[in-house]
Amino acid sequence: MSTNNYILNVEDIHKSFGNKEVLCGVSFGVRKGDTKVFIGPSGTGKSTLLRCINQLTPPDRGRVWLHGEEVTGSGPRINHFRQKIGMVFQNFFLFDHLSAIENVEIALLKVKKMKKEEAREKALSELRQVGLEDWADHYPAELSGGQAQRVSIARALAMDPDVILFDEPTSALDPELTREVLEVMRKLAQQGMTMLVVTHEMSFACSAATEILFMENGVIAEQGAPETLLSDPQYTRTRNFLGQLTD
C-alpha cells in the first residue's frame, strides 16, 4: 500500500444489512490534521462508514489501516485501536450513572490504567478545553444537549486519539446548541486534530473542512476542497444535493 503520509487508510469498504448494500466500496486516506466532512442524503452509509472504521460495525469486505497497522480483523487488539480512534455520537451516549468528569475519566482509569489524580487532572483539562470545567460534577441528565455533546467530545479527547469520528454530532441539537458544539469542533480542527465528520451543517463543512466528501448510494460520488466542490460547476451531484437542502 502507498503511504502518502496517510495516518488512516480506508480501502474498498463494503457493508450490507440483509439484502441492502449500504457501502459499496469506499476508499480514502486521511492525513494528520485533516478535517474530512462527509455529506450526502440520509441512508447513504455515512454513519455506517464511520462505524466500520472503528469496527463497531465490522465491514463485510475491505480494510482499514491506522499508521500502517491493520485495524480490520485485529481481534482483541481492536481495543487498542479504538483508544486511538475516538468517536462522538449523535445522541452523545454519555454514561448516565457518571458525572461529567467521571464520564471523561472512566476510560483513563479502566482502559489506560491511569492513576486517580492523574486521570482527574487530565479529565479536568479536557473539560476546560470544551468550556465545561464548571460543570464537572453535574450528571448527564442535568446538562443541556450541547453541554452533553461537549462532554462527550472531551471524553473522546481524553484518550489522546489520532483521529476522532463525529457521527452527526449536532443532529439532535437545536441551532443555538449546535453553534456551541461546532465552535468546539472548529477549535479542534484549528489545533490540528484529525477529524472525520458526518454532518448536514454546511457552514461548518465550508469553514472547517480540508475536504468534503459527497456520498450517495454507498459510494463517494464526488470529493474535493470545499471551495472547488461547492463552486466548480463540474460537481453537479453535490450542487443538486445542496440545492435540495436550501429549497
Partner 1 sequence: MDQITFLTEILLPALMSGLVVTLQLIAVSAPFGLLLGIGVAVGRQYGGGILSPVCKVFVYLIKGTPLLLLLIILYFGLPSVGITFSAFTASVIGFILCNGAYNSEYIRGAILSIKDGQMVAAQALGMTRLQAIRNIILPQALIRAIPGLSNEFIYLIKYSSLAYMLTVIELSGAGKLVATKYFAYTETFMVVGLVYLALVTITTVAVNLLEKHVSVPGMIRGETSAMQL
Q: List interacting residues with partner 1 (CB under 8 A).
A: 54, 56, 76, 79-83, 86-87, 89, 91, 93-97, 106-107, 110-111, 139-145, 148, 152, 155-156, 159, 172-174, 177
10 versus 87: smaller Cβ distance to partner 1: 87
Nearer to partner 1, 72 or 238 (CB): 72
How far is residue 17's CA from residue 197's CA, in Å, rounded to a whole number? 23
Shortest Å distance, C-beta 223 to partner 1: 25
Report, in Å, the least distance between residue 176 CB and partner 1.
11
Smallest gap from residue 16 Cβ to partner 1 (A) = 20
Compute how many other C-beta atoms are within 10 angstroms of the C-beta atom of residue 160. 13
Q: Compare residues 184 and 220 and give the one whose CB is closer to partner 1.
A: 184
Q: Least separation, in Å, of the C-beta of 118 and partner 1? A: 17
- C-beta closer to partner 1: residue 52 or 229: 52
Nearer to partner 1, 55 or 129 (CB): 55
Least distance CB 182 / partner 1 (angstroms): 16
SS3 labels along the chain = CCCCCEEEEEEEEEEEECCEEEEEEEEEEEECCCEEEEECCCCCCHHHHHHHHCCCCCCCEEEEEECCEECCCCHHHHHHHHHHEEEECCCCCCCCCCCHHHHHHHHHHHCCCCCHHHHHHHHHHHHHHCCCHHHCCCCHHHCCHHHHHHHHHHHHHHCCCCEEEEECCCCCCCHHHHHHHHHHHHHHHHCCCCEEEECCCHHHHHHHCCEEEEEECCEEEEEECHHHHHHCCCCHHHHHHHHHHHC
Smaller CB separation from partner 1, 76 or 233: 76
**Beta carbon of residue 239, minimum distance to partner 1 (angstroms, whole number):** 32
In the complex, minimum distance from the CB of residue 156 to partner 1, in angstroms, rounded to a whole number: 8
Paired with 164 in beta bridges are 86, 195
Nearest to partner 1 of 69, 227 (CB atom): 69
Name the phi and psi angles at 25, rounded to 5. 90, 80
